[in-house]
Structure 1
Amino acid sequence: MADTPYGLVAEFATEDAIVKAARQARQAGYRNIDAFTPFPLPRLARIMRIRDSRPAWLGLAGGIFGFLLAFGMQAFVSYDYPLNVGGRPLYPLSAYAVVIFELTILFAVLFLFVGLLALNRLPRLNYPIFNAPRFHLASKDRFFLCIKAQDRQFDRESTARFLRDIGAVSIALVPS
């Protein structure tokens, strides 16, 4: 629907204020919230319960893929084109170590890079929150808390009143 908003965004002046506001929003039952700050706040991440183990699994999968690719590639070459030079074994694992190490690291990083882009839905050329007034201050000195319209408890009037009551400096409706 064209008239459904993205959510309500509230501006806070200090980091303590946004941490307190996020805690109160969670206690009030809001679950679909997001925070925007000019620098990382570990306290805020704990309150918002941001825990995602998928990047670790992506790195592990990429590392395993790189290891198997490097080992398989070199084993295939040694089997298909055997060289018996000075009693060298057919599969010299010590000679494989450098390539295995390099491809393990390469594919772990590539899986992480591409996976993080996909998990964060990037590149995101237009994000509705960017249309909020004063949101450009999020990269300078202000802190913003957004309660999204997808939240079960979201109601324009009551959510705006709640944000005002917890100390928001300004509140804006973000169009979708």
Structure 2
Amino acid sequence: MNKVKIRTVKRAIRGDQQAFSQLVLGQADYLTRTGHLYLSRDVDVQDAISETTLIALHSISQLQKPALFRTWLTRILIRQCYRRYSEQAHEVCDLADLPEMPTNLANVSVDEKLDLLGGLKRLNDGYRQVLLMFYYNGLSIHEISDLIGMPENTVKSHLKRGKSQLKTWLGGDYFEK
């Protein structure tokens, strides 16, 4: 994070709401993309972002390392997405609301994509989160490690185990590059 942004974060920590607004607006596209990794409906993503913004506004004074603002904000968003995801786990999935697949899956049939999304839903939260961040958001292992506070080797293990479970359940190599 550059010095100007760190100064803006420090101003926001001291209670400057305009600085906070500037920071959150600067992260809007990133928050929306990240929200879509966890939630399929736009309205749910926007609700999660709104709740994230309110929580962040009320608790920014507790942020101890201004350079980690984006990571801190992302963690709040992920918690909000998981909360909404668990509330809606019983709902029937509408095909029109499915998230866009990564470009390396462009040649995969619709049935295989549906199988993949069903398989991802069956994974435990840790494996699913890492797979989504790596394949859908294009984050590196190091970035995922920093973002969720998990050692890099654990991220690698989650990727390997999650892919292995998907291959076992689906019988295909959907994530092979």
TM-score, with structure 1 as normaliser:
0.26
Task: Indicate the structure (1 or 2) with the bigger Cα radius of gyration.
Answer: 1
* Structure with more of its chain in strand, by fraction: 1
* Structure with more of its chain in helix, by fraction: 2
TM-score, with structure 2 as normaliser:
0.26
With a CA cutoff of 8 Å and minimum separation of 6, indicate the structure with the bigger relative contact order.
1
